[in-house]
């Protein structure tokens, strides 16, 4: 009976989801469904991000918060500083800063959860960097594949992230994406692959072994974090 009441209470809660990216921070609630955003970049600290979110949503009411963070998360806090943002993120207490119950997860995992349709799924986020996560029969597994060595002394992210797209050009970048995805499928053996992130649409028609996700699914993932 107690669990049933808790589920009912959660379903009524208004969730503010924050998707922190290397170029923008986007926010939305599960009730209003209106997206707002502001620029991020290499000088944005966690403290400044919270202040900007509060200013941007001062006319919104919400009960709990979900944060998608572009890096590893341990015990509901960023474990390391992000590669594409400013300092002051590692160990930051978002729950205290927002004054509300808050769940912090890797941003790729939040997008993955929004795109999840059961079974064993590999999610790869093609954006400023390379995000990655797996969900296996409902069990969430954030991953850090971006900085594994790939070719010529460089990493997966160097080839398939935004820098790789700019340096290689679209055709060679698409070939690199195809090769990286095939290697990860061989290693991890998912039932299906979802390609998300801001640059996923530049692939055009996805390969037969993958489907394209949408960036707005990150918000759905943020809402799902508060469901059973």
Domain residue ranges of the chain, discontinuous segments joined by +: 1-109, 117-219
pLDDT at position 83, please? 80
Residue 226, pLDDT > 90, answer yes
Q: Cβ(133)–Cβ(217) under 8 Å?
A: no
Q: Output the CATH code of domain 1-109.
A: 3.30.420.40
Predicted confidence band of residue 207 (pLDDT cuts 50, 70, 90):
confident
pTM score, whole prediction: 0.86
Asked whether this chain's domains 1-109 and 117-219 adopt the same fold, the reply is: yes
Structure tokens at 7: 């589920």
Q: Cβ(195)–Cβ(210) under 8 Å?
A: yes
Average pLDDT over every residue of 90-119: 96
Q: Which residues contact 55 (CB under 8 A, 6 or more apart)?
A: none
Rounded-to-integer distance, Cα 121 and Cα 194, Å: 7
Give the CATH H-level superfamily of domain 117-219.
ATPase, nucleotide binding domain (3.30.420.40)
Residue 180, pLDDT > 60, answer yes
Rounded-to-integer distance, Cα 51 and Cα 201, Å: 32
Average pLDDT over every residue of 127-140: 92
């Amino acid at each position: 009976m107690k669990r049933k009441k808790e589920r009912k209470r959660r379903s009524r809660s208004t969730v503010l989801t924050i998707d922190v990216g290397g170029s923008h921070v986007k926010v939305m609630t599960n009730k209003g469904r209106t997206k707002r955003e502001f620029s991020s970049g290499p000088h944005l600290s966690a403290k400044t991000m919270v202040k900007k979110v509060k200013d941007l949503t001062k006319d919104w009411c919400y009960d709990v918060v979900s944060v998608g963070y572009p890096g590893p998360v341990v015990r509901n806090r960023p474990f390391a500083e992000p590669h594409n943002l400013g300092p002051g993120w590692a160990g930051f207490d978002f729950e205290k800063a927002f004054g509300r119950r808050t769940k912090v997860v890797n941003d790729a995992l939040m997008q993955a959860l929004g795109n999840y349709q059961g079974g064993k799924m590999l999610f790869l986020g093609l954006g400023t960097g390379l995000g990655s996560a797996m969900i296996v029969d409902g069990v969430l597994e954030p991953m850090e594949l971006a900085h594994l060595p790939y070719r010529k002394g460089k990493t997966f992210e160097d080839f398939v992230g935004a820098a790789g797209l700019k340096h290689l050009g679209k055709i060679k970048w698409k070939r690199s994406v195809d090769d990286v995805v095939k290697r990860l499928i061989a290693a991890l053996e998912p039932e299906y692959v979802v390609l998300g992130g801001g640059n996923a649409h530049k692939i055009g028609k996805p390969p037969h072994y993958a489907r394209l996700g949408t960036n707005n699914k990150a918000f759905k993932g943020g809402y799902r974090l508060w469901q059973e």
